[in-house]
Amino acid sequence: MPAYSHEIDYHIHGDDMQFVEITLDPQETVIAEAGAMMFMDPDVHMDTKMGDGSNPSAGFMDKLFSVGKRVFTGESLFMTHFTAQGGARSNVAFGAPYPGKIVPIDLASIGGTFLCQKQAFLCAAMGTALSIAFTKRFGVGLFGGEGFILQKLQGDGLAFVHAGGTVIKRELAPGQRLKVDTGCIVGFDEGVDYDIEMVRGIGSMLFGGEGLFLASLTGPGTVYLQSLPFSRLADRIIASAPRHGGSDRGEGSVLGGLGRLLGGDNR
């Protein structure tokens, strides 16, 4: 496990469209996904590098193999490193990509490892290692949906993940189980056992609207859940989008639907 991550300070601004402002001491660095930066002070130097920089002594092929695995999560091979190069403290901020919450994760307090949904990672202190973690059971990989491939964050510093809607934190006791929609999982520590089980009852499977499978999380450990997975938000937007390039007036109202009927709209 990587050690001695940079000790960054932070402040989270906003409510539903949050951003996190990181304060760096001279020569401190924070790493982030490409495109996440919102603003930064002039003394902050931005540099795009291959990998997270957690193992400076690694050779080129080792770095290539490590970052190549991140392609499975839909992330870039490269990460952006932001370093305070002036003589005073400097700030850099990172914005959330869609409505929700930014969650700070103190990796040292949860054993050094945190598993999270793909594309949940926002930024972290230099020294944090990012990789992917394939689930242990075949059933999880086959039916897990959004939870199939998880990102693994390792280190002893701060990392920040983003989740949709409202976020809750649950502490599971040893043996305590929690059934969750796979898309509603933000992440959990390495002590939590993760599996997939089929929904019981043919009626629930066909008409319940919750899918055929649920995630089963078993403690001990810490679990973060989100009320609005991005996939659910995207599905609602696509379903509500006007078809054939047209636009609806009075969308969501009785008059809006009546107007479409009277106007001969056969959508």
Sequential DSSP letters for the chain: --------EEEEE-SSS-EEEEEE-TT-EEEE-TT-EEEE-TTEEEEEEES--S-TT--HHHHHHHHHGGGGGT--SEEEEEEE-SSS-EEEEEE-SSSEEEEEEEGGGGTTEEEEETT-EEEEETT-EEEEEE-SSHHHHHH-GGGSEEEEEESSSEEEEEEES-EEEEEEPTT-EEEE-GGGEEEEETTSEEEEEEPSSHHHHHHSSS-SEEEEEESSEEEEEESS-HHHHHHHHHHHSPSTT---TTTTSHHHHHHHHHTT---
> How confident is residue 5, by pLDDT bands cut at 50, 70 and 90?
confident
pTM of the model: 0.78
Q: What is the pLDDT of residues 67-77, one digit of tens each?
A: 555 565 556 67
Per-residue pLDDT, averaged over 79-100, amounts to 93
Does the structural domain 9-240 have CATH classification 3.60.160.10?
Answer: yes
> How confident is residue 12, by pLDDT bands cut at 50, 70 and 90?
very high
pLDDT > 70 fraction of the chain, expressed in percent and rounded: 68
The pLDDT of residue 49: 86
Q: What is the pLDDT of residues 130-181, one digit of tens each?
A: 888 765 554 444 444 444 578 899 999 999 999 998 999 999 999 999 999 8
Residue 63 has pLDDT above 70, yes or no: no
Q: How many CB atoms lie within 10 A of CB 70?
A: 22
Q: What is the pLDDT of residues 170-229, one digit of tens each?
A: 999 999 999 998 889 999 999 999 888 776 654 444 444 445 678 889 999 999 999 988
Q: Indicate the domain borders of the chain.
A: 9-240
Per-residue pLDDT, averaged over 247-251, amounts to 51
Q: What is the pLDDT of residues 28-45, one digit of tens each?
A: 999 998 889 999 999 999
The pLDDT of residue 222: 95
